[in-house]
Structure 1
Amino acid sequence: MARHFLKGMDISFTDEIEAGGGSYFENGEQRDILDILQRSGVNSIRLRIWNDPAGGYCNLERTLAMAKRIKSRGLHFLLDFHYSDRWADPANQWKPKAWEDLNFDGLLEAVRGYTHEVLSALAEQGTLPDMVQVGNEITPGMLWDDGKVDGEYDTDDQWEKLTDLVNAGVSAVRAVDPGIELMIHIDRGGDWPSTLKFLERFERHEVDFDVIGQSFYPWWHGTLRDLRDNLTATADRFGKPIIVVETAYPWTLDQTKGHSFIVGSEDQLHEGYPATVEGQAAYLRDFAKLVADTPDGLGIGFHWWEPAWIPSQEQWSVGHPNNWANLTLFDFEGNKLHSLDVCGEFGE
């Protein structure tokens, strides 16, 4: 049975934005963000979950509420376990505070138990995710230092610990519902040697997963050609479905309203893709086609990271200003940009 090409959006901040009074608009009319996305061709939503975040968002309670909204519309649902109280990424893979003093066996049980608890709660309300990430951008490992594998920690013993931790999460997902697809997510979208090294390690340790996830941000990870070459090589070598589960591109560089952006200068842009709504649309179109053209049909979709993180408030639960507001698919006031409609150009 042919699978749908996933045209996804990570809208993990939306719950907080709405609680703070932020709104979204289409053709001048205020609408539910999920309705806008779905009418524009989006068919998958990704949410991150943190164990006990200081701000109270992206925890289990709020994830349950958002999951109801997602599944009520028949959207594909991807749940991203960070296994942290805050960001987990290549620079931050810190344990939840409640797990800091556990020995390794205790940490394995914590990963297994927490994963099972979250998914059981979602199952109870009839909103199980269709796909689960066990870890977020775990190229350098997760749950540091026990599961750290970069630098001086790049040893056989550490890789065994990391894969044991991942397998603990995987076993919990399989126990709740073996039909949930398992993703392993790294951040090497334009880097075949690093991708190969990581996935060969997981292959050697027989990690049980279904889908390869990659992050690809053009200002960090290379050109679209680099991405294409990596996806082609990954498909040929590993034969698993691949999702580029994080990407973005700016629609403006205008910082006159006091904004401070991660991508704020011309030298961060790629040739042929200006920082305009039209340039953003061109990037999304070419990027999505590239993913869809991965050999053997193994490029099964993408997710745009935080397309709706508009600068609607001064304070955020994550403790820093919104520096992503020009990488969204909505303008600063929450109006839909026509670049979002590119999703509708790709088949279901």
Structure 2
Amino acid sequence: MKVLKVLSCMLLICSTACSKSDPDTPKKEDPKLHSNFVKGADVSWVTEMEAAGLKFYNNAGTQQDLFQVLKDKGMNTIRLRVWVNPTDGWCNTDDLVAKAIRAKNMGFGILLDFHYSDWWADPGKQTKPAAWASQDIAALKTSVYGHTVAVMTALKNKGITPQWVQVGNETNDGMLWEEGRASKNMKNFADLIQSGYTAVKAVSSSSKVVVHISNGYDNSLFRWIFDGLKNNGAQWDVIGMSLYPTATNWSTLNSQCLINMNDMVARYGKEVMVCEVGMEATDPATCKAFLDDIILKTNSVSNGKGLGVLYWEPECYNSWKGYKLGAFDTSGKPTVAMDAFLVK
């Protein structure tokens, strides 16, 4: 009997081990990313590039609409900037709406990016629109509100509701200088943010308002800005950040960015989003490693409050406008860096 029991046990163990190693046994794998994780790109240059004759291709070399190429690379969100009255017309309200319609028709979510300028607004310049140049802070608050409502309404009239809306772009020292320069008058900056917030919610209560700062690794900068906004009564839903590392420092900056994101969640209870990333197009393998890592780090943010990652103008190739941080090769096809967004 003892021999039979031992043999029986051995057969049971063998059977269990074999079933575990059976390659035909289906394995249940947990998804790596939250189901609603944002994987996207800012492609605000697309209409201007198309007008200049540039074309886009999938990896097989077949010409396709850029939005289709991005969708096939796993992206689900498009970010679009809007300027008040640009001299060349690109990225004005009409151009924005045309691109937003295309994005919506392809099933993308939309992140709308207000610069509150006629041209680029970033950490080094926050120039008032020409039409607002002589306005004081009271008039500027009114102008921010009116412009925001007008653009949001133009989208709404086409059946488009942005899921996220940035009020200002890389506002490291406020916006609409000098009146809204944060280092000179944080209260003015907070009031301008609040004007934008109120305007967004007046048209679409479901849209989440983003305040966007560059250098996502710089915790002291983020604490200074968001403490200042909080202490002066401004409201926001999402803390947005940019991250543009080099091929040599990306791992360090990604780790610092994750520390900062978790601190923002703990300190303010808000969601966070990496609204812009980029790296030299000539090193796509390193760029993919950077993207793989920052996507998973953002997904790991505490309490599920890491919303997603968006590449800034990946479709740029052949140094379009002198920009060299795209993720397409010289023939107009996505590089291996873009495969990072295929993760699910």
TM-score over 0.5 for the alignment? yes
> How far did residue 97 of structure 1 move?
0.2
1:78 corresponds to: 111
> How far did residue 68 of structure 1 move?
0.5
2:165 corresponds to: 132
Moved more, 334-343 or 214-223: 214-223
1:7 corresponds to: 39
Matches within 5 A, 1:45-124: 45-124=78-157
Contact 1:17 1:312 in 2 (8 A): no
> How far did residue 40 of structure 1 move?
0.8
Answering whether residue 255 of structure 2 is matched by residue 225 of structure 1, we say yes
Give the distance between the partners of 1:86 and 1:75, measured in 2 at CA.
Answer: 26
1:200 corresponds to: 227
Answering whether residue 301 of structure 2 is matched by residue 302 of structure 1, we say no
- Partner amino acid for 2:292? R
- Partner amino acid for 1:339? A
The unaligned stretches of length 5 or more in structure 2 are 1-33
Query: What does the per-residue CA deviation read over 1:239-271, in whole Å, with 9 as the maximum and x for residues that have no partner?
Result: 21100111111231xxxxxxxxxxxxxxxxxxx
1:272 corresponds to: none
Query: What does the per-residue CA deviation read over 1:4-35, in whole Å, with 9 as the maximum and x for residues that have no partner?
Result: 00001000111100011000001111000000
- Secondary structure at the aligned position of 2:57 is classed as strand
Give the distance between the partners of 1:286 and 1:214, measured in 2 at CA.
Answer: 16
Give the distance between the partners of 1:4 and 1:292, measured in 2 at CA.
Answer: 10
Question: Could you say which structure has the greater relative contact order, defined with CA pairs below 8 angstroms and 6 or more residues apart?
Answer: 1
Q: How many residue pairs end up in the alignment?
A: 307
1:323 corresponds to: 322
The unaligned stretches of length 5 or more in structure 1 are 253-274, 314-321
> How far did residue 283 of structure 1 move?
1.3
Matches within 5 A, 1:123-272: 123-150=156-183, 153=184, 158-219=185-246, 223-252=253-282
Contact 1:251 1:279 in 2 (8 A): no
- Partner amino acid for 1:86? W
Give the distance between the partners of 2:190 and 2:37, measured in 1 at CA.
Answer: 29
Instruction: Look at both structures and tell me which one has the larger radius of gyration over its CA atoms.
Output: 2
Contact 1:116 1:176 in 2 (8 A): yes
Please report the TM-score for the alignment, with normalisation by the length of structure 1: 0.85
Give the distance between the partners of 1:241 and 1:169, measured in 2 at CA.
Answer: 18
Contact 2:281 2:328 in 1 (8 A): no
Answering whether residue 48 of structure 2 is matched by residue 16 of structure 1, we say yes
> How far did residue 312 of structure 1 move?
7.5
Give the distance between the partners of 1:306 and 1:177, measured in 2 at CA.
Answer: 27
2:335 corresponds to: 337
1:261 corresponds to: none
- Secondary structure at the aligned position of 1:127 is classed as coil
- Secondary structure at the aligned position of 1:223 is classed as helix
Give the distance between the partners of 1:105 and 1:338, measured in 2 at CA.
Answer: 49
Query: What does the per-residue CA deviation read over 1:60-108, in whole Å, with 9 as the maximum and x for residues that have no partner?
Result: 0101100100011121100000000011001010000000012222111
- Secondary structure at the aligned position of 2:267 is classed as helix
Contact 2:315 2:334 in 1 (8 A): no
Give the distance between the partners of 2:165 and 2:309, measured in 1 at CA.
Answer: 15
Query: What does the per-residue CA deviation read over 1:186-211, in whole Å, with 9 as the maximum and x for residues that have no partner?
Result: 11311111111111111112212111
- Secondary structure at the aligned position of 1:68 is classed as helix
Answering whether residue 57 of structure 2 is matched by residue 25 of structure 1, we say yes
Contact 1:312 1:333 in 2 (8 A): no
Give the distance between the partners of 1:192 and 1:29, measured in 2 at CA.
Answer: 44
Q: Identity over aligned residues, as a percent?
A: 35
- Partner amino acid for 1:39? D
> How far did residue 3 of structure 1 move?
6.0
Query: What does the per-residue CA deviation read over 1:197-227, in whole Å, with 9 as the maximum and x for residues that have no partner?
Result: 1111111122121111011111499622211
2:6 corresponds to: none
2:19 corresponds to: none
Give the distance between the partners of 2:71 and 2:52, measured in 1 at CA.
Answer: 23
Give the distance between the partners of 1:206 and 1:167, measured in 2 at CA.
Answer: 8
Contact 1:21 1:312 in 2 (8 A): no
- Partner amino acid for 2:260? N
Give the distance between the partners of 1:14 and 1:190, measured in 2 at CA.
Answer: 29
> How far did residue 339 of structure 1 move?
2.1
- The Cα RMSD (Å) is 1.6
